[in-house]
């Protein structure tokens, strides 16, 4: 009888020990600040670029809120303090969510390159080969991803509460947990969009999807979101842009996007301030990312300040009097707002009122009038190195770049540095077209300008073969898998995802 009773108790205990029925089997690790631990040091700034007041107010509830939301959908959810996390901690889990940066593995440093130029090397948070699926929340993406060459970089910490230009047919809106038809509301287009050439044909009002209830622009202490650079973001098969969002940048700024096994959830709100649709898409994103285990990025981006052909297009479009007038208007508005803010804070101090820490930090930078460039100085700045060639002739500058656009080379190690590659120009085939490689191999076989052909092949492949046969064998083997990446060395790259 005693044995029978024990057996009955064991049987009854099974449902309690097993995963709740209906929950997704994806195992989730949430890494943020554990409210059971002391607050982090905030002498310089609070984590996530939040104010100390707002970070402290949310400290006790943010992690539990994410745990509560995730536990409604996933059978196994664990939380961990970001100060304790190590790469091995993610191994047992299908998806890791980083709400705030973890402890630095290698500190930032400065090194000199072969030309003696000092280069800043970002701090390391992750190994180069970290292959577990990840979701980064807001600025954590850039902080943890910069060292390993992720495209989820810091274009602007200025993302508010709404998404726009979203791909509503993307899987994260289809499920697998919740089907969401985004509620689109027509709203005023962010002014920043119109300061870029890409915004020329954007309507004054566009459909938007509300992701969180409150944005930082409402002045209620919301965590500010991050947008990444959209220029050439989706040029490689390892990346996809899903949505832009309300910010101060161009229409292509990335608010929701994936690069390899890493996802940028640019919005900063905790679940309590997410809309119902926003919560559902967030948990869908967690389930979606599980499939990218081991799918590390193919095309790495180690220099977020390199020029791309998108930047060159913008430059071509902006060498006009209209763009100059827009610049002047912006600068006048900046100086006006700066003066008003300076007066407000000084009046506040004069009235005996205490300034907030953020206001105290801002005050020394206020009240300075920003000088407005003349048309000639503005034009020279836009032309860069080519200013000495074209002087004040913006039209000639535009024609030169437009006529030679297929031969533009953007220096992957430079600071928005580009030029026309005269070697490729001589061959007459776009440096983005694999036919250029075919032509160069053909030139080697015929012993037709072999030095030129070899130089171009090495520049645009990163390979270093010495004979025509070696080049021919390599190209024959990889031709169908090649794609051109501007951000990963400005060269052809092999799609390692392709079978």
Cα–Cα distance, 50 to 494 (Å, whole number): 41
- The whole-number pLDDT of residue 20 equals 53
The fold of 24-292 is Rossmann fold (3.40.50)
User: Does the CA dihedral 346-347-353-357 come out positive or negative?
Assistant: negative
Name the pLDDT band for 11 (thresholds 50, 70, 90): very low
Tally of residues, the chain: 499
Task: Say what the pTM is.
Answer: 0.91
What distances in angstroms separate CA 336 from CA 323, 330, 370, 376, one per listed residue?
A: 20, 10, 10, 24
What distances in angstroms separate CA 86 from CA 6, 89, 279, 307, one per listed residue?
A: 41, 5, 27, 35
Phi, psi (deg, nearest 5) at residue 481: -105, 0
- The whole-number pLDDT of residue 3 equals 41
Please give the sequence-ordered ranges of beta strands (E in DSSP) within 74-127, or none if there are none.
74-81, 95-98, 109-112, 118-121
Question: Across residues 280-302, what is the average pLDDT?
Answer: 98
- The whole-number pLDDT of residue 119 equals 84
- The whole-number pLDDT of residue 115 equals 74
- The whole-number pLDDT of residue 221 equals 85
The domain spans of the chain are: 24-292, 309-407, 421-494
Q: Give the least confident one: 111-120, 382-391, 394-403.
A: 111-120
- What does DSSP say about strands 118-121 and 109-112: parallel, antiparallel, or unpaired? antiparallel
Q: What does the pLDDT look like over 412-440, one tens digit per residue? A: 999 999 999 999 999 999 999 999 999 99
167 contacts 130 by C-beta, under 8 angstroms: no
- The whole-number pLDDT of residue 21 equals 54
- What does DSSP say about strands 162-164 and 239-245: parallel, antiparallel, or unpaired? antiparallel
Residue 17 above 50 pLDDT?
no
């Amino acid at each position: 009888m005693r044995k029978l009773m024990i057996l009955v108790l064991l049987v009854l205990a099974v449902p309690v020990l097993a995963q709740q029925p209906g929950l997704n089997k994806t195992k989730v690790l949430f890494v943020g600040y554990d409210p059971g631990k002391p607050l982090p040091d905030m002498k310089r700034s609070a984590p996530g670029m939040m104010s100390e007041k707002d970070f402290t107010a949310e400290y006790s509830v943010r992690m539990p809120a994410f745990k509560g939301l995730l536990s409604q959908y996933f059978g196994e959810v664990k939380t961990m303090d970001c100060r304790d996390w190590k790469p091995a901690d993610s191994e047992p889990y299908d998806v890791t969510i980083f709400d705030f940066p973890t402890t630095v593995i290698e500190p930032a440093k400065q090194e000199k390159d072969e030309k003696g130029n000092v280069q800043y090397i970002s701090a390391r948070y992750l190994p180069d080969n970290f292959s577990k699926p990840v979701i980064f929340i807001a600025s954590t993406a850039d902080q943890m991803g910069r060292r390993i060459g992720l495209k989820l970089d810091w274009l602007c910490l200025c993302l508010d509460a709404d998404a726009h230009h979203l791909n509503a047919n993307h899987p994260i809106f289809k499920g697998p947990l919740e089907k969401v038809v985004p509620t689109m509301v027509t709203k005023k287009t962010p002014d920043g969009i119109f300061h870029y050439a890409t915004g020329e044909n954007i309507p004054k009002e566009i459909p938007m999807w509300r992701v969180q209830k409150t944005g930082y622009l409402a002045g209620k202490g919301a965590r500010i979101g991050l947008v990444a650079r959209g220029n050439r973001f989706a040029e490689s098969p390892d990346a996809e842009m899903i949505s832009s969002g309300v910010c101060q940048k161009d229409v292509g700024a990335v608010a929701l996007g994936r690069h390899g096994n890493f996802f940028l959830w640019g919005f900063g709100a905790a679940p309590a301030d997410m809309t119902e649709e926003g919560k559902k898409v967030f948990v869908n994103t967690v389930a979606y990312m599980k499939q990218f285990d081991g799918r590390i990025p193919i095309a790495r981006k180690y220099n977020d300040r390199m020029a791309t052909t998108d930047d060159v297009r913008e430059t071509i479009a902006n060498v006009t009097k209209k763009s100059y007038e827009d610049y002047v208007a912006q600068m006048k508005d900046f100086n006006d707002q700066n003066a008003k803010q300076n007066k407000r804070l000084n009046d506040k101090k004069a009235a005996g009122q205490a300034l907030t820490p953020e206001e105290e930090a801002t005050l020394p930078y206020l009240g300075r009038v920003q000088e407005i460039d003349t048309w000639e100085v503005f034009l020279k700045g836009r032309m860069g190195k080519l200013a000495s060639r074209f002087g004040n002739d913006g039209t000639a500058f535009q024609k030169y770049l437009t006529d030679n656009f297929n031969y533009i080379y953007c220096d992957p190690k430079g600071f928005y540095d580009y030029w026309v590659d005269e070697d490729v120009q001589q061959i007459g085939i776009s440096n983005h077209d694999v036919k250029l490689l075919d032509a160069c191999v053909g030139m080697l076989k015929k012993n037709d300008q072999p030095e030129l052909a070899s130089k171009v092949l090495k520049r645009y492949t990163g390979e270093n073969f010495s004979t025509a046969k070696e080049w021919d064998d390599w190209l024959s083997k990889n031709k169908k898998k090649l794609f051109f990446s501007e951000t990963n060395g400005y060269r052809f790259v092999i799609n390692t995802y392709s079978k």
